[in-house]
Structure 1
Amino acid sequence: MDRTRLSKRMSRALRHDPARVGLVLDGAGWTPVEALCAALEVSVADVEDVVRHGSKQRFELADGRIRARYGHSLPGHITMPAGDPPPVLFHGTAAGTVEAILRDGLHPGGRQYVHLSPSEATARAVGARHGRPVVLVVDARAAAADGAVFRVGNDDTWLTDDLDPRYLRRA
């Protein structure tokens, strides 16, 4: 089994296009593991291996169900648990988008949530996927105090809705 290839197939099915393989996700993004395995023609052991050994903690298993933790491009919002964020979070982006973000704020774009990191290094790596990286510092404490809801994607990913530019600055 090619773990990377299966992880990508699972991501597409659970984050972007479940209907393509005949899956239905509930409001929190869950579907039965057996249904995913049947749709992708893989074993439960293979799926469990991807979940257990995936470097980015993209997936979650519970009670015979599976879901992607973050990165959804489906309409609406997959319900993720809210949490108290650290005082500061980081967002990595390409240099060409920084001025617009600092003027207009952060928006999910094609995703359901804005993705933030507790690590400046991780944010820099994310930004590098889109060109010359720039890291923005997010005043999560102030945003949360003003009513922004932060959700836990995994140990390296925090999720939120739109963020006003007053909570952002260059690293």
Structure 2
Amino acid sequence: MDFTAASKFLSYVLRHHPEAIGIELDDHGWANIDDLLEKAQNKGKDVDRDIIWQIIANSAKQRFILSSDKKYIRAGYGHSIDVDLQLKPKTPPEKLYHGTDYDNVAPILEDGIKAQSRNFVHLSTTIEEARKVGSRHGKPEILIVFSKQMSKDRYRFYQSQSEASVWLTPFVPPQFLKRKS
């Protein structure tokens, strides 16, 4: 299995569907690596320890975290399943950015940014990263999120443990949004 396919497979299993290969995640989203590898092999997925280390060391997205004893792995963000990532609230930067498709902008500006099927809304620290995210959905549009003001108004933010440029929050109300011109 190549790097990209293995990364997508791990995202699918560790963020959304551990039952697809018959593994169980603990309450904090950790999977035993030996169990993960065995169950993946049983489902015909050619994933090994080396590819996992390569993904963790070389992936631009930094989606995964290894436990200190290197026996467990979890996704650092992006879950649609209920896990407690033990995130601590943190004061965000003045502004964050959200990339979306052009067709989503009007509804978002009216209703805010919702987590949809995920546990959190994902926000980026840079316009470039938000543009990459938006381009995955169609014609990219960038929204500015006035995150520091949201935080002052008691909305909680969390910084991803695996990717420092990713910030998480349950919802962004429309009054804290502006379309980037």
TM-score range, shorter chain: over 0.9
**Equivalent in the alignment of 1:79:** 85
**Equivalent in the alignment of 1:20:** 20
**Equivalent in the alignment of 2:156:** 149
- The alignment of Structure 1 onto Structure 2 pairs a total of residues equal to 170
Find the aligned partners of 1:77 and 1:10 in 2 and give their Cα distance.
Answer: 16
AA paired with 1:4?
A: T
State which of 73, 78, 82 in structure 2 corresponds to 1:66.
73
Question: Is contact 2:76–2:85 with CA below 8 Å preserved after alignment?
Answer: no
Once the 2 structures are TM-superposed, how far is the Cα of residue 78 of structure 1 from its aligned partner?
Answer: 3.6
State which of 50, 57, 66 in structure 1 corresponds to 2:62.
57
Question: Is contact 2:97–2:145 with CA below 8 Å preserved after alignment?
Answer: yes
Partner-residue secondary structure (3-state), 2:19 = helix
When normalised by structure 2's length, the TM-score is 0.88
Once the 2 structures are TM-superposed, how far is the Cα of residue 65 of structure 1 from its aligned partner?
Answer: 1.1
Deviations 1:49-102 (A, max 9, x none): 21111121010101321101111122x354252322111100001111111111
Find the aligned partners of 1:54 and 1:34 in 2 and give their Cα distance.
Answer: 21
When normalised by structure 1's length, the TM-score is 0.93
Q: Which runs of 5+ in 2 are unaligned?
A: 42-46
Partner-residue secondary structure (3-state), 1:6 = helix
- Greater mean deviation of Cα atoms: 143-152 or 36-45: 36-45
Find the aligned partners of 2:95 and 2:84 in 1 and give their Cα distance.
Answer: 24
Question: Is contact 1:16–1:72 with CA below 8 Å preserved after alignment?
Answer: yes
AA paired with 2:18?
A: P
**Equivalent in the alignment of 1:162:** 171
AA paired with 1:17?
A: H
- Give the percent of matched residue pairs that are identical in Structure 1 and Structure 2: 38
- Greater mean deviation of Cα atoms: 84-93 or 43-52: 43-52
Find the aligned partners of 2:137 and 2:76 in 1 and give their Cα distance.
Answer: 22
Find the aligned partners of 2:28 and 2:154 in 1 and give their Cα distance.
Answer: 22
Question: Is contact 1:69–1:80 with CA below 8 Å preserved after alignment?
Answer: no
Find the aligned partners of 1:80 and 1:90 in 2 and give their Cα distance.
Answer: 24
State which of 133, 136, 156 in structure 2 corresponds to 1:126.
133
